[in-house]
Structure 1
Amino acid sequence: MGKIGNDVKKGDSKKTLIETLNGEFVNDAIYRIQDKDTGIYIDIELTLASVSKDED
């Protein structure tokens, strides 16, 4: 878990996400990738800041 395909993994930068996946930002924290054939989409929520080392 924490990985999208073989390309993007937990801890990757926002720049890596943009360069690797074909999608668009819905807002500053959510990047959306969508299958053009089915219309199904996945929203990737980015953590912009963390105040603890908790995984929650």
Structure 2
Amino acid sequence: MVFTHKPYPELRTAFYIKGFEQHNQVGDLFAFSGWNGMKYYDQFDYVAWFNQT
């Protein structure tokens, strides 16, 4: 699995993390993404991903 700053639909193992579109790469996934207390990595449902493999 690779986390990206923009969508790459041609790559099955790429997951787009929203919030880094203006950057050249994904930033700190452990940083808070807003006022709601969620972090950037919370966008990825790792439990569902583990269960599908």
Q: Please indicate the TM-score interval, normalised by the length of the shorter structure.
A: under 0.3
Taking CA–CA contacts closer than 8 Å with sequence separation of 6 or more, which of the two structures ends up with the larger relative contact order? 2
TM-score (norm 2): 0.26
Larger Rg: 1
Larger strand proportion of the pair? 1
- TM-score, scaled relative to structure 1: 0.25
